[in-house]
Structure 1
Amino acid sequence: MADAVIRYRSSDEDSARWQGFSRRPGDIVISTRSKSGTTWMQMICALLVLRTPELPAPLSELSPWLDWLVDPPEAVYRRLAAQRHRRVIKTHTPLDGVPFDPLVHYIVVARHPLDMAVSLHHQSLNLDRARLAELTGQTGAPEPGRPRQPVAQALVRWIDADPAPREELDSLPGVMWHLRDAWTRRHAPNVHLVHYDDLSADLGGQMHRLAGLLGLEAPGPELVEAATFDRMRARADRLAPDPVGVLKDRRAFFRTGRSGQGSALLDAATRARYQARAAALAPPDLVAWLHRDR
C-alpha cells in the first residue's frame, strides 16, 4: 500500500490529525460512514478487548473519534497513549485518508446506503448545531432551523444529489467512494469488511468471526448480549457518541437499527433510479455484496 494519504476535511473533522498519532501493533481502527454501525462496532471491539459487559468508562472515552475537531488532538493522543490494553479508534475517514500500517487492523462496516441515509436524516434532527458550532470554533450564527422535511422526500433528494464524493462523504457518491476503496483492500490480512445486516442477523457469529480475525478470545454469551441493540439503547448515557453534549437525546441516537426501511419508502421508479446510480458508482461485486440482492 502507498504511504501517501488523502486529506479529508469538513466543518467538524480533519483527517490530518492521523499524521500526529503514534500507532501501536494491534491497534484496531474502525472506519465507517456515518450511521453505518460505527458505535455498534466500537462496542463489539471494546467488549472483545476488555472482556467485560461493564465497560470501565464511557465508550467514547475508551474508543475516541480521532479526527473530530471537538476534542483537541493532544488530548486524544494522551488519552490513547495512556491505555495499556489494545486500542480501538473511531474514524469516518476512508482508508485512503488513514496511514496504513500492516500491524494495525482496519475494520470497515458497510450498511445499505438507503438505510444509512434514513438514519442520517433522523440523526441530523437530533443534533444541537449551536453547541457543535461553538465547540468547533465556527463563526457566525448557526444555520437557522428549517421546516422538517418528510424522510421520503429527503431520501429522494439524497439519491439524486451528485456532489464531489471527497467533499460530501455522506452523500451517495461519498458512501460509494469510501466503500469502493475498502473493497479494493479487502484481501489484505489486516483489512476486515463487515456488513451491518450480518451483525443484525447473527451477532454472536459475527463477534466470533471478528475475534478470530483480531486474534482475540471468542466472546461468551454475556458479551454478545451486551452488544445487542436493546442493551445498548438502554445504556445510551454511557454508549452514545456524545462526550460533549451535541446530541439532543442520547437514547434517540439508537433509533431502530432496522434494515430495509430506506427501500420501503420508495416507489418502484425511484428504487430503479437508485439502483442505476449505485451501479454507476461501484463495481458489480461490491454492489451485490452491499445490497444483498434486496
Structure 2
Amino acid sequence: MPEAPYRYRSPDEDSARWLGFPFRDGDIVISTRSKSGTTWMQMICALLVLGTPDLPAPLPRLSPWLDWLVEPRDEVYARLAAQPHRRFVKTHTPLDGVPLDPRAHYVVVARHPLDMAVSLWHQAGNLDRVRMAELTGQPKPEGPPGPRTPLAEWLPRWVDREADPREELDSLPGVLWHLTDAWSRRDQPNVTLVHYDDLVADLPGQMRALAHRFGIDVPEARWPELVEAATFERMRRRADQLAPDPAGVLKDRSAFFRRGGSGQGPELLDAETLARYRRRTAALAPPDLLTWLHRDG
C-alpha cells in the first residue's frame, strides 16, 4: 500500500483537509512554496482551462487554497464539486503531504530561495495580523507592531537559521525539503516542475509547454490574448480579482504583485554570506536540483 501523506500543520493551514478529497479526472494540483509563483501558476491554469481572460469568478474562488483553515472544508469541497470545468487547486503543501492520485496532474513551481525569501519579507509587511488572528482563532497581537528588522539584516539570518523543514516550510530547509521531494518525482508522468525564472524569461513558451503537458488544445489565434493576461503587469492591474485575499488579510492587494522579477536576493548578500548560503544548500539538497534551481548550468 502507498504510504499515507505526511500531515503538515500551521496556525492557518492543515494538509489533512486533503484526505478524502474526491478527485476527478484531469484535476490540477498546484504545489508551491509561499511567494514562489503560486498565483501566477493559478492564473496560467485558469487561462488554459477556461480559454479566456474573462474569468467567471475571482481567482481565489476558482482555485481555492484547500489547506487553508479560514474557509470551512465542506464549503471548499462543495464549491469545487460544483465546477463544471477542469479544476485547478492551490496548496503550499509538499507532494508528500497530499494524496497522489493518478487522475490528477501535479505542478510544482520552484523559485531561487533567496528571491523567494525577499518576497516573503515584503509580504509579511503587507499582512493584517489582527485580521488573520480573528479568522484563525489565534490570540490577537497586543499593541502596535514593533519596528521590523531591515531586509539587509533579516536575509542573512534567514540563510543561517536552523529549522525543522517539516515544521517551518518557509525556512531555507523547508523550501529545499519541498523542492527535493518534488525533484525526486520529476520523472512521473503526472508531475511537472516549472522554474519561476523560465516563466519570467519565456512566458509564451512555458504556457505552451504546460498546455501540452495538460493535454489542452488552445486555438492558435487565442494565444496572444491569453499570454498577455498572464503577464505580471496585467495581473497587477487586476489585483482585486486575482490576489489571494478572499478574507481580507492583505493591507494592499496591488502590493501583493510587488516586482515579479529575479535576482534581487543574491544581490543583497555579501560574498561571505553568499558562500555560506551555497554551503548550506549543498547540505540540504541534491546537486542536480541545486544546479537547476540556481541556474548554474
* TM-score for both structures, normalised by structure 2: 0.97
Identity across matched positions, percent? 72
- Deviation for aligned residue 1:21: 1.5
- Superposed CA deviations along residues 241-272 of structure 1, whole A, max 9, x for unmatched, are 00010000000000001100000001100100
CA distance in 2, matches of 1:281, 1:217: 39
Counterpart position of 1:256: 259
Counterpart position of 1:231: 234
Counterpart position of 1:271: 274
Q: CA RMSD in A?
A: 1.2
Q: Which 10-residue stretch deviates more, 183-192 or 146-155?
A: 146-155
- Deviation for aligned residue 1:152: 1.4
Counterpart position of 2:211: 211
Kindly indicate whether the alpha-carbon contact (under 8 Å) linking 1:3 and 1:99 is maintained by their aligned counterparts in 2.
no
CA distance in 1, matches of 2:143, 2:11: 13
3-state DSSP class of the match of 1:55? coil
- Deviation for aligned residue 1:54: 1.1
CA distance in 2, matches of 1:159, 1:272: 11
Give ranges in structure 2 of 5+ residues lacking alignment: none
Kindly indicate whether the alpha-carbon contact (under 8 Å) linking 2:5 and 2:97 is maintained by their aligned counterparts in 1.
yes
Answer yes or no: is 1:222 the counterpart of 2:199. Answer: no
Give ranges in structure 1 of 5+ residues lacking alignment: none
- Superposed CA deviations along residues 21-54 of structure 1, whole A, max 9, x for unmatched, are 2111100000000000000000000000000011
3-state DSSP class of the match of 1:272? helix
3-state DSSP class of the match of 1:67? coil
CA distance in 2, matches of 1:20, 1:130: 32
Taking a change above 3 Å as real, the CA distance of residues 43 and 136 of structure 1, as seen in their structure-2 partners, is same
CA distance in 2, matches of 1:129, 1:264: 30
Taking a change above 3 Å as real, the CA distance of residues 205 and 99 of structure 1, as seen in their structure-2 partners, is same
CA distance in 1, matches of 2:145, 2:231: 34
Taking a change above 3 Å as real, the CA distance of residues 280 and 81 of structure 1, as seen in their structure-2 partners, is same
Counterpart position of 1:247: 250
Kindly indicate whether the alpha-carbon contact (under 8 Å) linking 2:134 and 2:140 is maintained by their aligned counterparts in 1.
no
Counterpart position of 1:113: 113
CA distance in 2, matches of 1:278, 1:143: 38
- Deviation for aligned residue 1:20: 3.1
Answer yes or no: is 1:193 the counterpart of 2:186. Answer: no
- Deviation for aligned residue 1:134: 0.5
Taking a change above 3 Å as real, the CA distance of residues 140 and 254 of structure 1, as seen in their structure-2 partners, is closer
Taking a change above 3 Å as real, the CA distance of residues 143 and 259 of structure 1, as seen in their structure-2 partners, is farther
Output aligned runs, 1:139-218, within 5 Å: 139-141=139-141, 145-218=145-218
CA distance in 2, matches of 1:20, 1:186: 25
3-state DSSP class of the match of 1:20? coil
Answer yes or no: is 1:292 the counterpart of 2:295. Answer: yes
Counterpart position of 1:130: 130
- Deviation for aligned residue 1:144: 5.3
Counterpart position of 1:75: 75
CA distance in 2, matches of 1:99, 1:211: 23
CA distance in 2, matches of 1:42, 1:142: 35
- Deviation for aligned residue 1:146: 2.2
Kindly indicate whether the alpha-carbon contact (under 8 Å) linking 2:26 and 2:105 is maintained by their aligned counterparts in 1.
yes
CA distance in 2, matches of 1:272, 1:48: 40
- Superposed CA deviations along residues 120-169 of structure 1, whole A, max 9, x for unmatched, are 00000000011011001113545851212211111011000011000000
Counterpart position of 1:25: 25
3-state DSSP class of the match of 1:31? strand
Aligned length: 294
Kindly indicate whether the alpha-carbon contact (under 8 Å) linking 1:185 and 1:191 is maintained by their aligned counterparts in 2.
yes
Taking a change above 3 Å as real, the CA distance of residues 280 and 144 of structure 1, as seen in their structure-2 partners, is farther
Taking a change above 3 Å as real, the CA distance of residues 143 and 167 of structure 1, as seen in their structure-2 partners, is farther
CA distance in 1, matches of 2:142, 2:16: 25
- Deviation for aligned residue 1:216: 0.5
- Superposed CA deviations along residues 31-85 of structure 1, whole A, max 9, x for unmatched, are 0000000000000000000000111110000000000011110110000000010
CA distance in 2, matches of 1:127, 1:217: 39
